[in-house]
Amino acid sequence: MKNHLIILLLLSVSMIVMSCQRNDDEPIENKRSISRLYISTSNYEEDGGSSFYNIYVIEPADSSNFPPKSFESIYKYKSSAKGGAFLFYSPYNGGKLFQGSQNLVNAVDTSISVMKVGEKGTLEYNNLVSYRGLNQVRGISYVFQNGEKVSGDYLLALNGNDVADSLLVFNNSVNNAKNRRPKYYLPLDYNSWGINADGSNLVVSSFTSASTITTKPNAFNGLVVYKNLLNQLTPATRDTLLTDVGRYNLTIEGANTIRGIAYSKSLDLLVVTDYDRNGTASVGRILFFENFYEKYNSSQNISPDRIVTSANKLKSPFDIAIDGRKEGKYIYVADTESRAVFRYNISDKGEVNPDKEFIINGRTPFALSLDAR
């Protein structure tokens, strides 16, 4: 009898331990506050050697010591991307970082690099999502659906060219490498740039002005909101062409060249970058839209609640990240013309200088992703 009791006790303990283990599809459980900024730089040169890192990691990004005084102390990584472009961090599947490529004429690269993220922000090659249709990757996002009707992990990538833009959706993109076809395809009738997935909704930024990009007939400066789009990504969906998609357009009044977007769910705050080029001069802006989902539920013209400008600083802000925590204080902007990453206070308004700035040793920051938990 005693032996039976011991066996039952051991089985009970084992079951409790197993039930407490984290699944790979769950977010990393952080034991401390994290504010980690990933920066993608666009510089690339064949046989550039180890000096051509294309990802820089700053932690903590919300410190008064941003950036660290010693450039050598900053963690740097060289991914397989031939010139870093858009970037996205996800805490799911053990923590992953996705990076698109510039896909230059002399350096064709139709892949999205997937990297494992260590507990301290270190990076390690995981795999490549390769598809010939990824010839001009723009915004990237990664979502994990684990509901009764919707289940699976999905990598979302905007792709634009002179012919047409599209949203490409790959499933099970973390574990399977190379030569993939998208599970779903959504044609876009406008120039797309930034992307934000929140819950079942998707927001894409649209622009009209760009010297090297052909403007589509229905292009405009603003935002396209797709309601409940992510709920259509189900194993039961047979047709990979997404056509019955509800959407509405938000035209931003006074905008010139819309670029990056970022959203804080806890604040219901959407921030957008914009710039106006007049000859060789360029002036950048950060646009703030407060109570975003509460106020905007149908196609309409909208105006920002606040605007931030910085003379001689903000010129061509290509991407933006926001500390979406309730206690979050900052937003971060990658400016390709100033070749710097600027940090501003979330509460800023009008003509203000950045709280901090980071010049990346001659490199050009193109995109950002913030891990704030």
The confidence band for 243, taking pLDDT boundaries of 50, 70 and 90, is confident
The mean pLDDT value for 55-71 works out to 92
Q: What is the mean pLDDT of residues 258-263?
A: 97
Question: Residue 318 pLDDT more than 50?
Answer: yes
CA distance 353 to 342: 9
Q: pLDDT at position 13, please?
A: 44
Q: What is the pLDDT averaged over residues 75-98?
A: 94
pLDDT at 152 over 80: no
What percentage of the chain carries pLDDT values higher than 90?
63
Confidence of residue 141 (pLDDT cuts 50, 70, 90): very high
Residue 8 has pLDDT above 60, yes or no: no
pLDDT of residue 48: 54
Residue 130's alpha-carbon distances to 21, 30, 100, 134, 168, in angstroms, are: 32, 31, 10, 7, 12
210 — pLDDT class (breaks 50, 70, 90): low
Instruction: Give me the phi and psi of 307, to 5 degrees please.
Output: -135, 135
> Which of 22-26, 111-115, 301-305, 362-366 is the least confident region?
22-26
pLDDT of residue 254: 95
Query: Residue 17 has what pLDDT?
Result: 42
Lowest mean pLDDT among 14-18, 58-62, 222-226, 325-329: 14-18
Q: Looking at residues 233-240, what average pLDDT do you find?
A: 66
Query: Is 171:153 a contact under the CB 8 Å cutoff?
Result: yes
- For residue 311, give the H/E element and its range: none
Q: Over the Cα atoms of the chain, what is R_g?
A: 21
CA distance 184 to 299: 25
Residue 73's pLDDT band (cuts 50, 70, 90): confident
Q: φ, ψ for residue 75 (rounded to 5)?
A: -70, 130
pLDDT at position 237, please? 58
Distance CA(11)–CA(3), nearest Å, equals: 12
Q: Which of 37-41, 44-48, 245-249, 311-315 has the highest mean pLDDT?
A: 37-41
pLDDT of 14: 46
pLDDT digits (tens, 9 = 90+) for 273-284: 999 988 778 999
Its pTM stands at: 0.89
85-94: pLDDT as tens digits: 999 999 988 8
Measured in degrees and rounded to the nearest 5, phi and psi for residue 109 equal -150, 95
Highest mean pLDDT among 155-164, 165-174, 233-242, 293-302: 293-302
Q: In sequence order, what are the beta bridge partners of 159?
A: 137, 166
Q: Residues 84, 99: contact at Cβ < 8 Å?
A: yes
* Residue that wins the pLDDT comparison between 291 and 153: 291
Q: Given this model, what pLDDT does residue 9 score? A: 47
Q: What is the pLDDT of residue 242?
A: 84
In this structure, of 35-39, 52-56, 171-175, 179-183, the range with the lowest mean pLDDT score is: 171-175
For tokens 């260590």, the residue is: 118
38-372: CATH architecture = 6 Propeller (2.120)
Domain ranges of the chain: 38-372
Contacts 24+ apart (CB under 8 A), 280-283: 282/315, 282/316, 282/337, 283/309, 283/314, 283/315
Q: So what's the pLDDT on residue 310?
A: 96
Residue that has been written with the tokens 């979302």 in this structure: 156
Distances (CA, A) of 139 to 33, 88, 226, 371: 27, 9, 15, 17
Residue 16 reports pLDDT greater than 80:
no
The residue-averaged pLDDT of 245-256 equals 95
